[in-house]
Structure 1
């Protein structure tokens, strides 16, 4: 297993030598951060998280304020969840990413773009254009999956395999392991197969029954075997907790998730579990 980049500090918490630093996906705390950006970041850092993947905050506050707030809380910016910088919006999106200090811009293709191999090829053109634009700025594009990439199969091959074949090799992967499972894949096998191309992973938990209706639960309370998944050999640099559609308090769920992952020894943070 390749070593993670030393982003966000070494962390503590009794984690194993291969443990990856733990971050929060901005969508999880979006409501709180839109009310109090600095306060939300401080609460995330106090739990022990080492980083944040931004979502919706640059649009609300501007990249400079988000960058300063994250730094003041001791949080690294792992990546920005933002549309692919292609077409007319490319330069604006890249300017924002550079001002934010986000090394990787992550987004997805639409579900309907996996309805046929031809539609996959057409969609990939946008992603590859983004990869070229980002590379010119010293930035990286990451691809984030939902479930259609795995549930759609053409001539015995998953749409995800077709996608990977067509993507510019500079495009890295943010695997959403929960949605991969919902598409019928084994996330541990996918991470192993991706190898060093897998740089980020979204960690969420729930019953893993319905893409449309599942309510998320704190990590460890659902159907996902995160000890097995996150122990798979890969190139992951960050573990990113994303809890959406929660029915419990967000920060209580983030704290429980932190303790579970750090307690397993697969993730690391700044506070002992």
Structure 2
């Protein structure tokens, strides 16, 4: 694993809301050396100071705030937390992914964000769920069609679990998307919608071939929900992926 294993902090949103500093400290104690914030606008300077103290890097951040806050302020916060990559993780109508006209609207919106981001030396990415995978256009997923419509600088963060739930053969999808893929959300679980996730390696997802299909992508653990103790799950995920990629 060339880059440090990261974790999407949305996994621990409740714990962060209660005790941000203690939660980040515990993640560092587990062995994580990288984190992906879900909202960079909440005390970005304080976050960066603590991350530096803990030795945590920030490869990217989600930036849902772009839909509701001043773009310049959001991009300034993105840079302050320590990255130049802002990811749109949702906020776009699902129905737009079911037609080519809708996909063009999505691309225009993302490309517009990218143009604004460039003024702040920030890159824009997009994070999928299942609704960008299920619609098919002559055998291609909506995500693949969308990728062709995006400006070259717009990157993808592929959520490998939701891609599988949406019906994709994930390694093949990653190979098709190629260098457009900057990061992977690596998660595991029963492989169906609306069910809690598990530690990576404890569910139904065949993780090794997925990682092998995108060897240079940043690996980011995420559990949208967890039936058991979330700290145990993220620790088990860290152990599994560290061991798996250490043997590859």
CA offset at residue 41 of structure 1? 0.7
- Residues in 1 aligned to 2:47 and 2:95: alpha-carbon distance in whole angstroms: 33
Residue 68 of structure 1: aligned partner = 49
Q: CA deviation at 1:84?
A: 7.3
TM-score of the superposed pair, with normalisation by structure 2: 0.92
Give the alignment partner of residue 261 of structure 1, picking from 224, 238, 241.
Answer: 241
Write the mapping of 1:62-141 to structure 2, written as runs, cut at 5 A. Answer: 62-83=43-64, 85=66, 89-107=70-88, 108=90, 109-141=92-124
CA contact (8 A) 2:197 2:226 kept: yes
Alpha-carbon distance, 1:158 to partner: 2.0
1:12 corresponds in structure 2 to none
TM-score (norm. length: structure 1): 0.84
Cα distance in 2 for residues equivalent to 1:87 and 1:253: 32
Greater helix share, structure number: 2
Determine the structure 1 residue equivalent to 2:226. Answer: 246
Partner residue, 1:208: 191
Instruction: Say which SS state the counterpart of residue 77 (structure 1) adopts.
Output: coil
1:43 to 9, 26, 49: 26
Structure 1's 204 and 87: CA in aligned 2 closer, same or farther, altered over 3 A?
closer
| Cα drift, residue 155 of structure 1 | 3.7
- What is the root-mean-square deviation in Å for CA atoms of aligned residues? 2.0
Higher relative contact order (CA 8 A, sep 6+): 1
Aligned residues: 246
How many angstroms apart in 2 are the aligned matches of 1:86 and 1:30? Answer: 20
1:121–1:166 contact (8 Å) kept in structure 2: yes
Pairing 1:199–2:182 present: yes
Instruction: Label 1:267 to 1:117 Cα distance change in 2 as closer, same or farther (>3 A).
Output: farther
CA shift digits 1:188-235 (9 cap, x unpaired)? 1122222222111101100102x2x12101111101111111112454
Identify the range of structure 1 (35-44 vs 91-100) with the bigger mean alpha-carbon deviation: 91-100
Distance 1:124 1:256 in 2: 37
> Cα distance, 1:122 vs. partner?
1.2
User: Which blocks of at least 5 consecutive residues in structure 2 are unaligned?
Assistant: none
CA positional deviation for 1:85: 4.3
- Cα separation, 2, equivalents of 1:252 and 1:216: 13
**Contact (CA 8 Å) 1:230, 1:266: kept in 2 or not?**
no
- Matched residues in 1 for 2:162 and 2:17: separation? 26
